[in-house]
Structure 1
Amino acid sequence: MPPILSSVPRVGNGLHRTPVTTAVRHHAQHFRGIGHPNAHGAQDETARLCCFEGREYGHTKRGLLAHFAVQGTSPNRRWRRHDKGVWSLFVDELCPSTEHEVLPRTGGEGLIQLITPDGKRRESPEFDDWVLDVTDEQLASLYEDMVVIRRIDTEATYLQRQGELALWPPLLGQEAAQIGSGRALREDDFVFPSYRENGVAYCRGVDLGDIVRVWRGNAHSGWDPYELNMATPQVIIGAQSLHATGYAMGLKNDDSEAVALTYFGDGATSQGDVNEAMIFAASFQVPVIFFCQNNQWAISEPVGLQARVPISSRAPGFGIPSMRVDGNDVLAVLAATRVALHRARTGGGPTFIEAVTYRMGPHTTADDPTRYRDEAEMGEWAAKDPISRLGALLKSRGVLTEALESSVTAAADAVAKEMRHACITMPPPAPMDVFSHVYSEPNSTLDTQKENYARYLQSFPADSVEGINQ
């Protein structure tokens, strides 16, 4: 039996697989709906006529009905056949709800939820099949992953407070959103993160030293994106969504089954880059997943101020199906990501996932959240902690024993120790490196600056700090 515990990332641990028996049932074909709520956002009591037309990859009755299987609906149907076996399906039913959710939702507050905050397993006819293959041993591995990245996060915060890092963006509270989605990916999928996806980087096998390298200021970026199929952290809010859509367009042109997945926060959804990326993704039906970690705060701006409706409800306006998942439920996040990945791999196009979670720490270590958040809100979300939730489920099943819990803690401490050592022993960059990789072609202005700076450094004694670091 393979070991449950490991102090190194388990890339390709099998959690990316989808049960074959559920593939047809959950395959949502591309569709076009006609009909909207009235001007006041309410549904008319009379049924409207909705038309879902098959496209080149939705050319069977079975394919069109798969959409309704995913929605969990059973509409009255009238068929019309076109050339080459393409069908149109006319449906007499009410149009989608005012929340405009296209893919199914279960659980409290309309969220996809498979584990309740108190650690009880919740049944979901729509999503249970997507995680039937997840064993207790794999759940324990997911638990360990979350404990490890929380320990990494804590240690990196300590390093910043001690002056070893210039800055650090904590992910405290968002472990389930990152581990559940990160472990669903295949090695050939490509990740386009923001600056907070250090947990996903761990899942992809990024070296611990490379994770903190950019925050120490020792390199322009952290790692080789093509080695692990993960781009380096993007600090320009939402810009990575454009890169993901463009990459996905290339995947489609190459007839690849790989998928691009981009992460961003609730604040990024107000950026033009994200909206433009969604327009192109929908227009060209490319295999990309927009994964929004709605942690409730865009620095000091609450999500309710910039989003008067659930963020996931925006995506159908672009023609992109969306899901709203409990972002503190690692199993639900895994299931939802698998659904989206399967859609993308089988020609279904883009999917938008809103993982509703909470940023328990500051925006970065330069932020003081006590200035704009109250303790009551923090307490409410602390009761939904993702690690405690999965831990309670595993304890109820007799999996998470005291011995196992101690082993997980020891493994997490070992990883944190390894990261600290990599950080403090990292050689400083040579001063002249600041001029490298700025322009692909020679630039006279930059060359002049480089020459001037070189002369400046030479003015220091050879045994000085400036002289030694030349």
Structure 2
Amino acid sequence: MTTQAEHRMPPATLPADADLLPSAEPIRFLDDDGGPAPGDAHGRYERPAPELLRRAYAAMVLGRRFDAQATALTKQGRLAVYPSSRGQEACQIGAVLALREADWLFPTYRDTMALAARGIDAADALTLLRGSWHCGYDPMATRTAPQCTPLATHAPHAVGVAYAARRRGEDTVALVLIGDGGTSEGDFHEALNFAAVFHAPVVFLVQNNGYAISVPLSRQTAAPSLAHKGAGYGVRGERVDGNDPLAVLAVLTEAVESARAGGGPVLVEAHTYRIEPHTNADDDARYRDHDEVETWKRRDPIARLEAYLRSQGELTDDDVSAAREAAEAYAADVRARLGEEPSGDPADLFAHVYAAPTPQLREQAGWLAEELAR
């Protein structure tokens, strides 16, 4: 049995600085049009299998349609708020497909698309954003933590889960989804340090979409890249074109399996872009111009993957039609179920906050009961 003292000891051989630093340019397999990227030589990263890419394509098409439907429901007042992830499909779908069923996913409020790709019921996934329950799905059964609204507070939790699993002899990996704004929070740095010191099997995927709400990346950090932040803690970093589905799948699969095999934590920075405003309450025209958005639209991850698969003879018109029809059926089901008025007990507001309700909670619950009685 490993002793507590042994768990505190650093590895006998420390990695060289060069082993911790990310690539000079983001890893990419495809150019902006879905053709081969110049060079296309990435050493340690294997090109994903065609079957996995076809699965990714179908999931990305469904995810985008789901995202559009959720945005429409927000405008109709069926959701309290919805943070769109249009443009970030490759990151969210790639993260899910890189994991095994027994691995853990730690999402943020913007990662509802990833929950749908993991098989979580769409209506349950949107419960938080509807404001009708703390979390609409069972985290233990789905191996998916509740969506995290405070920035980066879920990152240390992911490290704890992964470390505990390793102590039990399991080969579980935890993957943390985080935005570029979250890297400016103390919890992110504590999680990196915790993961490195205890050699926890965690992958941190930073979806760098250029803005923390309205604050551009240049006002958040002076580091060469966000992936460089790992080196100071002893965490290997990597950069990837977040709108290249092949590259995202290749890099994340390698990172997850490296962590699983005992290679320690990995920090991956995916360069991507949020096409829509931060949420339905945001006016993005105040802080970014139309031309910038249009430039990123031309780097569309779904269009790039479709072009590549067609060029390889792995995708036909019938396949594309089938993916779109499945996405429309999925959206129609979401629309119908979210169109129904929610029913719930207001007293549930106080459920599952603490194992034993505090005096303050009991007092507040009493006030609510009196108000309802009147």
Q: Decide: shared fold, TM above 0.5.
A: yes
1:354 is matched with which residue? Answer: 269
Deviations 1:161-218 (A, max 9, x none): 0010000010010000111121010011111111111122122211111111111111
**Matches of 1:188 and 1:359, distance apart in 2:** 30
1:18-37 map, 5 Å: none
1:345 is matched with which residue? Answer: 260
2:198 is matched with which residue? Answer: 284
**Matches of 1:454 and 1:305, distance apart in 2:** 47
1:121 is matched with which residue? Answer: 36
Is the CA contact (8 Å cut-off) linking 2:20 and 2:234 kept in structure 1? no
Q: Which amino acid aligns with 2:94?
A: G
**Matches of 2:253 and 2:123, distance apart in 1:** 30
- 1:413 pairs with one of 328, 332, 344: 328
Q: Which amino acid aligns with 2:173?
A: V
CA RMSD in angstroms comes to: 2.0
**Does residue 380 of structure 1 match 2:295?**
yes
Compute the displacement of 1:456 (Å). 2.1
**Matches of 1:144 and 1:138, distance apart in 2:** 10
**Matches of 2:367 and 2:296, distance apart in 1:** 54
**Matches of 2:188 and 2:145, distance apart in 1:** 17
- 1:400 pairs with one of 315, 330, 334: 315
- 2:220 pairs with one of 306, 322, 333: 306
1:153 is matched with which residue? Answer: 67
**Does residue 429 of structure 1 match 2:344?**
yes
3-state SS of paired residue (1:232): coil
Residues 427 and 118 (structure 1), Cα distance of their counterparts in 2 relative to 1, 3 Å cut: same
**Matches of 1:205 and 1:279, distance apart in 2:** 32
**Matches of 2:59 and 2:262, distance apart in 1:** 31
Compute the displacement of 1:426 (Å). 5.6
Structure 1's unaligned 5+ residue stretches are 1-53, 59-63, 68-90, 460-470
Residues 319 and 101 (structure 1), Cα distance of their counterparts in 2 relative to 1, 3 Å cut: closer
**Does residue 180 of structure 1 match 2:94?**
yes
Q: Which amino acid aligns with 1:423?
A: L
Compute the displacement of 1:404 (Å). 2.2
3-state SS of paired residue (1:255): coil
Deviations 1:49-80 (A, max 9, x none): xxxxx946x7xxxxx9xx8xxxxxxxxxxxxx
Compute the displacement of 1:305 (Å). 1.6
Residues 333 and 426 (structure 1), Cα distance of their counterparts in 2 relative to 1, 3 Å cut: farther
3-state SS of paired residue (1:131): coil
Query: How high is the TM-score relative to the length of structure 2?
Result: 0.92
**Matches of 2:299 and 2:359, distance apart in 1:** 56
Residues 442 and 238 (structure 1), Cα distance of their counterparts in 2 relative to 1, 3 Å cut: closer
- Percent identity (aligned): 40
**Matches of 1:426 and 1:394, distance apart in 2:** 42
Higher relative contact order (CA 8 A, sep 6+): 2
Compute the displacement of 1:144 (Å). 1.2
3-state SS of paired residue (2:126): helix
Is the CA contact (8 Å cut-off) linking 1:147 and 1:387 kept in structure 2? yes
Deviates more, 1:194-203 or 1:183-192: 194-203
3-state SS of paired residue (1:323): strand
**Matches of 2:68 and 2:180, distance apart in 1:** 23
1:233 is matched with which residue? Answer: 147
Structure 2's unaligned 5+ residue stretches are 1-9
Q: Which amino acid aligns with 1:164?
A: R
Residues 441 and 55 (structure 1), Cα distance of their counterparts in 2 relative to 1, 3 Å cut: closer
Structure ID, larger Rg: 1
Q: Say which structure is richer in helix.
A: 2
Is the CA contact (8 Å cut-off) linking 1:188 and 1:258 kept in structure 2? yes
Q: Which amino acid aligns with 2:314?
A: V
**Matches of 1:258 and 1:437, distance apart in 2:** 26
Is the CA contact (8 Å cut-off) linking 1:127 and 1:335 kept in structure 2? no
Compute the displacement of 1:125 (Å). 4.1
